Amino acid sequence: MSPAHVKGRAQPLVLVVEDYQDAREMYAAYLQFSGFDVAEAGNGVEAIEKTHALLPDIVLMDLALPRMDGWEATRRLKNDERTRHIPIVALTGHALAGHAEGAREAGCDAFVTKPCLPDALVAEIKRLLEHHRGKPDHPGEPARAAKSTKRRT
Amino acid sequence: MARAAAPLAPLHGIEADAKLAFVEFLLTSIDVQESSRRAVDWLVAHAPVTEAAVLVAEPLSNDMLLVAEHGVSSGAIMEFALSREDGNHPLIQALASPQPIYIESLQPHHRVPLEARAFHVIPLRAEPTETGHGLLLVAGIGPQMDAETVWLGRTLGKQVSRLLGRQLLAETRFGQERMLLYSIINAVTDPILLTDTEGKLIIANSHAEKLFAAPEEASEGWRRAAALNNMLFSAALSTSAVGMTELARRELLLVDPLEGSDLLFELLSSRAKDERQGTYVVSILRNVTDLARAKEEIEESYRTLRIAQAEVRDERHRLDLIIDSVADPILVTDQEGDIVLMNTPAERLFNAPGVDDEGTLRRVRANGANLTSFVSNVLTRSGEQRYRGEIQLGDPLTGRPLPVEAVAGTILSEQGELMWVVTILHDLTEAIEKARLYEQLKQASVELERKVQEATAELAEQNELLRRQHIELEQASALKSQFLANMSHEFRTPLNAILGYTHMLLNNVTGPVTDPQRKSLTRIDSNSRHLLALINDILDITRIEAGRMPLNATSFGIGELFEEVQAELEPIIKRSNLAVTTKVRGAVPAVRSDRQKVKQIVLNLLSNALKFTPAGSVTMTASYDGRAKQVAIAVRDTGVGIPAADQAKVFEDFRQLDSSPARGYGGTGLGLSICRRLANILGGTIELESMPGQGSTFTLRLPAKGRRR
C-alpha cells in the first residue's frame, strides 16, 4: 500500500458519502482502524463540495442520497477535470436491475452491494487504490468490480 | 222411221189388236229371219194355212234362202235349193211379178219347199213396181187369197225390203270402217300383227311390216333381219302359252332391220276365234328397249335409295338410343303443337303407355295441356331461338307434383319457316328441395352466427373484465414486488449497520472483548446473517416473479465453478465431517449462462446436501449430453432422503419437509424453490431422485449454449 501519494498525505483519504449516519460512522471508524484518513458527507451536494475541497484519494458513494443522488453526484465528478481521476466505489442497497448499469454509466469505477461487511469494503478500496497507483492523473478504464457479497440460504 | 208413217189398214176388234202387236214387233226387229218366222206364226194363227215358207235373196250371192216355214217337212227343207239365176223357175219369175201368183201345179223338176200342189206365191217388196227381195209361199187357203194373207204379205214385204236394204248399206259402211281401222292400227307406234297360230302373217301394221316384211328393193341385211325376226317371233308364239284365251305377256328380242341394233319388245299376244277363219293370234309388240334401260336405272337408284334409307334408319336408331338414354324428357312438337317424337322419359309423362287408370290418364292429359301452352308461348315468340320456362307437371302414376324447367329450341327450315320445337324438361324437384334446404341452412347459419356473436360479445365483455382484473392484479403484484423490494432494502440498511458493528467489535476495533462478550457477539452475527439471507431470498423470489431478475450470460468452466463453490462452503464442509468430492465426467464444454445464478443454484444444492446428510458423502458430478446439448450437474448425498409422495413438495415456497428438522437444519425453506425458478429462467431444469434413508440426487440440467429465446 502506498498511502501518501497525493499532496504529501501520510495516509490515503477516503470520502465516505452515506446519508445513514450509523453506517457512515461505522465505515469511517473501520476505515480509520484499517489505516485510512476519512472524510464524511451526508448527501450528494456535500459530496461534490468535499471532493472539490479535499480531493480525496477515493470516494465511497452511496447511490440513494438526499438533495442529490449518488448517480448524479458521480456524473458531475466524472465530468469535472479536477475530480475525474478520483476513483468512485458505488454502494448500492439493492441490486435490482438497472442499479449496477446505472452506476457504471454514471462513471463509478466499482460497486459493492450492501450489506457489505467493513473488511470486505476495505479490501475493495485497497484493490482499487492499488489499481490506480502510478496513474494519478489518468484514471483510465474503470476497474472491474469484484463481487464482495456472499449469499446463501 | 216413225210409227205414224207406217201405212196401217183399218183395224177391228181382236184382229186389229193382233195386227197392231205384230206391226210393233216388226218395227223393233232388225233380223229378217226373226221377222219372217213371226210373220209365219201370225199367218198360221189368223188364216186356214196348211203350209207356209219364206224365201229371202241373199244379198251377196244369188241363192234364195229359206228363213221361215210352217208345216213343211224337214226333208223338203234339206233338199230345197234355188238360185235367182234360174229364170225358168216359176218362183224366180214370181219375184218380178207385179201380182201374187197362184200356182195350181208345178213341173216335177221345179222344186219348192211345200208339199201341197197348189199354193200362192207372194213377192215380198215395199212397192209393187220393184223386184221382190223374197217370197212368201202359202198353201191351204184356196185359190182366192183372204184379206189377212194379203195384209200380211204386204206388211212382211215392206219389212224385208227395209231390212235387206239396210244390210246392203251396212256392207259398204263396213268397208269404210275397215279402212279406218287400218289407218288407226298404222297410227299406233307399236307393231301389231294378226297371225295364225304358227306365226304366219295375216295382217300387220306398217311398224310390224318394217320388222317382219322386207320390200322388194330391200337390202340383203334387211331381208335377213326380217327373216330372223319372223323366226324369233314364231318361236316366241310356239313356246308361249297362247292356247289360253288370256293375254300372254313375254319379252322378245328382235333386230332393228335398218339399224342392226337389238330391240327389246314386250310381246302381248292373245288368241282369238273366228267362225269363218278359225283360230288366229293378235300380237302387239311394245318397244321396251328404253324402258329396260330406264328400269335398270330405276333399279340402281332404288338400290341407292334403299342404302340411303338403311343409313337413315341406322342414324335414326342411334338418335333414338341417344335421346332415350337422356334421363331428361325430350319432346319434339310440330308447328301445330302436336308431339311428333319423344323419348322414353317423356313418354312416361305424356303418354303413360299401357296404363288405363282414369287418374293417370287425366294427369297425362293435364301434362299435355301444360306442355301445349308452353310450346304455344314458344311459337308466338318468333325470332327467339331459345325459350326457357317452368312448367308444373304431375307424375302420372302417383300424382306427385313435378315442377320442371323447360328449355325449348326451335328448328327452322332452310326457308326460315318454323318446323319443329324441341323441348327438354329438367326435373326441378331436387333443385327446389335443395334450395329449400339451402334456405333452411342459411337461416340456421344466420341464427348460429347471431348466437355466436352474442356469445362472442359476452366473451369479449368477460375478457375485458378479466383483462381489467389482470391489469389490476398485475398492478397489485407489481406494487407488492416494489413494496417488498423497498422493504428488503429498508431492512438491509439497519441490518448492514448491525452486521458492521458486530464485525468491528469481533475484530477488536473498539478494543478487546471478553470471551463471554465474543460469544454473544457471535450469536448476534449469525442471527443477523440469517435474517439477511431471508431478506435476500424474499428479494430474489420477488424479482423472479416480477420478471425483473437480471441475467448476465458469460462462458465459464464447470470445474472452476465447483472449486469456487467448494471453497466458499469450506468451513461448513469441515464442520460436517463428510467426504465431499467433485467429478467432471468426460469432456464437458464451457457453459454459456449466468455464472452467478448457476453458482447460486449449485451452492444451494451443496449446502442442502451437507445440511441433510448426517454421515457419509456428498458427490458433485458434471457431465455433458451431446445429443440434447445439455450440461448436467448432479449433487448426490447419502442423507435422509425424501419419500416419493413428498418429492414434488420440496420445490414449493417456504417448504421444509418437517418443521422440526427445518429448525434443526436451519435455512429459509425458500432455497429449492428459488433454485428451480432460477433454473427455469436459465432454460434448464432441476430433477430429484430420492429414497428415504438412501439419500437424494438433485440434478441441474442447463443448455450448454445458453437459453434459447
Smallest CA–CA distance from A100 into chain B, residue: B550
- Please check the confidence at residue A40 and state whether its pLDDT lies above 90: yes
DSSP letter, residue B396:
T
- Please check the confidence at residue B142 and state whether its pLDDT lies above 70: yes
- pLDDT score for B559: 87
Mean pLDDT of B166-176: 65
> With an 8 Å Cβ cutoff, are B668 and A29 in contact?
no
Sequence-distant (6+) residues with CB within 8 A of B403 are B390, B391, B392, B393, B427, B428, B429, B432
For A113-125, the pLDDT digits (tens) are 777 788 888 888 9
The per-residue b/e assignment along B335-354, b for 16 or more CB within 10 angstroms, e otherwise, is: eebebebbbbbbbbbbbbee
Query: Which of A93, A117, A153 is nearest residue B667 as measured by Cβ atoms?
Result: A153
Chain B nearest CA to A117, separation (Å):
5
Mean pLDDT of B63-79: 81
For B622-666, the pLDDT digits (tens) are 998 888 888 999 999 888 888 888 887 777 765 544 443 333 444
The proportion of chain B whose per-residue pLDDT surpasses 90, expressed as a percent, equals 5
Name the range with the highest mean pLDDT among B182-186, B211-215, B378-382, B583-587. Answer: B583-587
| The residue type at B309 | Q
The Cα–Cα gap between B26 and B32 comes to 10
For B220-232, the pLDDT digits (tens) are 888 888 888 888 8
- Please check the confidence at residue A145 and state whether its pLDDT lies above 60: no
Q: Is A1 on the interface with B (CB under 8 A)?
A: no
**Can you give the pTM of this predicted structure?**
0.40
- pLDDT score for B9: 47
> With an 8 Å Cβ cutoff, are A29 and B504 in contact?
yes
- pLDDT score for B93: 85
- pLDDT score for B287: 81
| The residue type at B635 | V
Residues 118-137 of A with CB under 8 A from B: 118-119
List CB contacts (< 8 A) between B543 and chain A.
96-97
| The residue type at B409 | G
Q: Is B568 on the interface with A (CB under 8 A)?
A: yes
* Structural element, H or E, at residue B617: strand B617-625
- pLDDT score for A59: 93
Name the range with the highest mean pLDDT among A134-148, B470-484, B539-553. Answer: B470-484
Starting at the earlier edge strand, list the strands of the sheet with B278-287.
B201-204, B192-195, B278-287, B262-274, B248-255
- pLDDT score for B447: 92
- pLDDT score for A5: 47
- pLDDT score for B14: 66
Query: Which of B485, B500, B537 is nearest residue A118 as measured by Cβ atoms?
Result: B500
| The residue type at B545 | E
What nine digits make up the cell of B505?
467489535
**Residue B407 contacts residue B386 (beta carbons within 8 Å):** yes
- Burial classification of residue B572, based on how many CB atoms lie within 10 Å of its CB (0-12 exposed, 13-18 middle, 19 or more buried): middle
Tally of helices (H runs) and strands (E runs) in chain A: 5, 5
What nine digits make up the cell of B181?
281401222
Mean pLDDT of B107-126: 84
Smallest CA–CA distance from A94 into chain B, residue: B489
Residues 296-325 of B with CB under 8 A from A: none
- pLDDT score for A144: 40
Residue bearing the bigger pLDDT, B218 or B590: B590
Mean pLDDT of B604-614: 86
Question: Dihedral, CA atoms, B181, B185, B187, B192, nearest 10 degrees?
Answer: 180
Q: Is A138 on the interface with B (CB under 8 A)?
A: no
List CB contacts (< 8 A) between B548 and chain A.
96-97
Q: Is B10 on the interface with A (CB under 8 A)?
A: no
For B517-555, the pLDDT digits (tens) are 899 898 888 888 888 887 877 777 777 777 777 777 888
> With an 8 Å Cβ cutoff, are A151 and B500 in contact?
no
Q: Which of B336, B512, B519 is nearest to B419 (CA)?
A: B336
> With an 8 Å Cβ cutoff, are A97 and B548 in contact?
yes
- Burial classification of residue B65, based on how many CB atoms lie within 10 Å of its CB (0-12 exposed, 13-18 middle, 19 or more buried): middle
Q: Which of B637, B635, B632 is nearest to B586 (CA)?
A: B632
Q: Is A7 on the interface with B (CB under 8 A)?
A: no
Mean pLDDT of B65-79: 81
CA distances from B471 to B461, B480, B481, B544, B549 (A): 15, 14, 15, 19, 21
Q: Is B150 on the interface with A (CB under 8 A)?
A: no
- Please check the confidence at residue B382 and state whether its pLDDT lies above 90: no
Question: Dihedral, CA atoms, B280, B284, B285, B286, nearest 10 degrees?
Answer: -160
For B246-296, the pLDDT digits (tens) are 567 778 888 888 888 888 888 888 877 766 667 778 888 888 887 777 888
Residue bearing the bigger pLDDT, A50 or A8: A50
DSSP assignment string, B534-563: HHHHHHHHHHHHTT-----EEEE-HHHHHH
- pLDDT score for B7: 45
Of A33-47, A129-143, B41-55, B355-369, give the lowest mean pLDDT range: A129-143
> With an 8 Å Cβ cutoff, are A119 and B503 in contact?
yes
The Cα–Cα gap between B252 and B264 comes to 6
> With an 8 Å Cβ cutoff, are A152 and B537 in contact?
no
List CB contacts (< 8 A) between B604 and chain A.
152-153
* Structural element, H or E, at residue B484: helix B429-506
Mean pLDDT of B155-167: 81
Q: Is the peptide bond before B345 cis (omega within 30 degrees of 0)?
A: no
**Residue A60 contacts residue A16 (beta carbons within 8 Å):** yes
The Cα–Cα gap between B116 and A130 comes to 220
Measured in degrees and rounded to the nearest 5, phi and psi for residue B694 equal -110, -15
List CB contacts (< 8 A) between A26 and chain B.
497, 500-501, 504
List CB contacts (< 8 A) between B549 and chain A.
97
Longest dimension (CA), chain A: 47
Query: Which of B485, B494, B499 is nearest residue A117 as measured by Cβ atoms?
Result: B499
List CB contacts (< 8 A) between B671 and chain A.
153
Chain B nearest CA to A24, separation (Å):
9
Instruction: Give the mean pLDDT of chain B.
Output: 81
> With an 8 Å Cβ cutoff, are B496 and A94 in contact?
no
Residues 519-538 of B with CB under 8 A from A: 532-533, 536-537
What nine digits make up the cell of B321?
338410343
- Cell 341394233: give the residue: B261
- pLDDT confidence tier of residue B496, bands split at 50, 70 and 90: confident
What nine digits make up the cell of B523?
450469536
CA distances from B698 to A60, B307, B466, B500, B606 (A): 42, 105, 39, 36, 9
List CB contacts (< 8 A) between A100 and chain B.
550
- pLDDT score for B655: 53
Q: How many CB atoms lie within 10 A of CB B95?
A: 22
What nine digits make up the cell of B300?
340402281
- pLDDT confidence tier of residue B143, bands split at 50, 70 and 90: confident
> With an 8 Å Cβ cutoff, are A153 and B674 in contact?
yes
Starting at the earlier edge strand, list the strands of the sheet with B630-637.
B579-584, B617-625, B630-637, B695-703, B685-691
- pLDDT score for A147: 39
The Cα–Cα gap between B558 and B538 comes to 28
Smallest CA–CA distance from B492 into chain A, residue: A115
Query: Which of A29, A96, A152 is nearest residue B543 as measured by Cβ atoms?
Result: A96
- Please check the confidence at residue A39 and state whether its pLDDT lies above 90: yes
The Cα–Cα gap between A99 and A90 comes to 10
- pLDDT score for B244: 52
| The residue type at B217 | E
**Residue B188 contacts residue B205 (beta carbons within 8 Å):** yes
For B398-444, the pLDDT digits (tens) are 888 888 888 888 888 888 777 888 888 888 888 888 889 999 999 99
Please give the interface size between A and B, counted as residue pairs whose CB atoms are below 8 Å apart. 80
Residue bearing the bigger pLDDT, B447 or B327: B447
Residue bearing the bigger pLDDT, B179 or B297: B297
- pLDDT score for B175: 67
Q: Is B594 on the interface with A (CB under 8 A)?
A: no
